[in-house]
Structure 1
Amino acid sequence: MAKLTHINSKGEAHMVDVSSKDESIREARAEAVIHMKPETLSIIMSGQNHKGDVFATARIAGIQAAKKTWDLIPLCHPLLLSKVEVNLYADEKSHQVRVESLCRLSGKTGVEMEALTAASVAALTVYDMCKAVQKDIVIGQIRLLEKQGGKSGHFKVEI
């Protein structure tokens, strides 16, 4: 089993030194799933939410969040992201919205946390914009779907 990299020899949390790592193209995809009542999803899809376009606002929030991950997660490095994409998909049969994020850069450390943060904050934004009509919306499964680049190589969730 791999050891925790953010713990030093004294057992203390620390920021990993990546200065000796090689730069490579790094990419990560993550998702969050939001469960809601059919009526709430209908309001979103019809554009009738009184706060505005839910998907557009959540998309921008997710992009902004990815760019600020190092401000939110204590041991993350500030990164120069070259791409952040956030997409939202409505599934009217299951009354869900699926958020998928993609982050990419050429650098010395991965972008998994940025992708996860983007998906999480986009999901939270959907909740925020819809809480007036449904307070018991559930943000479920937030997970890494895929990562590429770096020494640890390629990881992809088995679906």
Structure 2
Amino acid sequence: MPHFSHIDEDGRAQMVDVGEKTITRRVAIAGAQVVVSKETFTLLKEQALPKGDALTTAKIAGILAAKRTADLIPMCHPLALNFVDVRFSLDETACRIDIEAEARTEGKTGVEMEAMHAATAAALTLYDMCKAVQKDIVIQNIRLLYKSGGKSGVFTAK
């Protein structure tokens, strides 16, 4: 039977002990996409949504989410984050908002979950900011795009 790091010898969930791991610089970038109608996209771009500036609100929500990851994901270690950013690119042709969330630290465990949490919270916030004008918004492709640091080294999504 394979060994699972988050399962103890009795089959119960456990937090991994990272006490013996080496401190390294850790970076993770996650992405998500929000697809809206042409009308919603125009309102968002022009900052004319009923709830206000959706992109600024989503950026703040993503940063806050990264900082609170260990409070909401049970087996995540609390991390001292050095940097968190949430960036957006607007694809007018596809009426899509591409989200990129980046987290950095120096520590014994990675920041992938913090970056993923930031991207997800930003996407959900965009949904919340736009739902007054559109209900069938699609959130898609939440995933890890890049990570570096630690024993497993560099990962880049294809």
Q: Structures share a fold, TM > 0.5?
A: yes
Alpha-carbon distance between aligned partners in 1 of 2:5 and 2:81, rounded to the nearest angstrom: 22
User: For residue 41 of structure 2, what is the aligned residue in structure 1?
Assistant: 41
CA shift, 1:6, in A, is 1.0
CA shift, 1:136, in A, is 0.6
Instruction: Return the letter of the residue paired with 1:69.
Output: T
Runs of 5+ in structure 2 lacking a partner?
none
User: For residue 108 of structure 2, what is the aligned residue in structure 1?
Assistant: 108
Describe how 1:112-123 pairs up with structure 2 within 5 A: 112-123=112-123
User: For residue 134 of structure 2, what is the aligned residue in structure 1?
Assistant: 134
Describe how 1:1-159 pairs up with structure 2 within 5 A: 3-158=3-158
Q: Partner of 1:120: helix, strand, or coil?
A: helix
Instruction: Return the letter of the residue paired with 2:64.
Output: Q
CA shift, 1:131, in A, is 0.2
Q: Partner of 2:127: helix, strand, or coil?
A: helix
Alpha-carbon distance between aligned partners in 1 of 2:80 and 2:86, rounded to the nearest angstrom: 17
What's the C-alpha RMSD, in Å, of the aligned pairs? Answer: 1.0
CA shift, 1:39, in A, is 0.6
Q: Partner of 1:121: helix, strand, or coil?
A: helix
Contact 2:28–2:146, Cα closer than 8 Å, also in 1: yes
Q: Partner of 1:8: helix, strand, or coil?
A: coil
- Normalising by structure 2, what TM-score? 0.97
Percent of aligned positions with the same letter in both sequences? Answer: 52
Contact 2:50–2:132, Cα closer than 8 Å, also in 1: no
Alpha-carbon distance between aligned partners in 2 of 1:134 and 1:106, rounded to the nearest angstrom: 41
Runs of 5+ in structure 1 lacking a partner?
none
Alpha-carbon distance between aligned partners in 1 of 2:125 and 2:27, rounded to the nearest angstrom: 24
- Taking a change above 3 Å as real, the CA distance of residues 21 and 93 of structure 1, as seen in their structure-2 partners, is same
Alpha-carbon distance between aligned partners in 2 of 1:78 and 1:25, rounded to the nearest angstrom: 16
Alpha-carbon distance between aligned partners in 2 of 1:10 and 1:33, rounded to the nearest angstrom: 40
Instruction: Return the letter of the residue paired with 1:58.
Output: A
Alpha-carbon distance between aligned partners in 2 of 1:145 and 1:99, rounded to the nearest angstrom: 11
Q: Runs ≥4 in structure 1, deviation > 3 angstroms? A: none
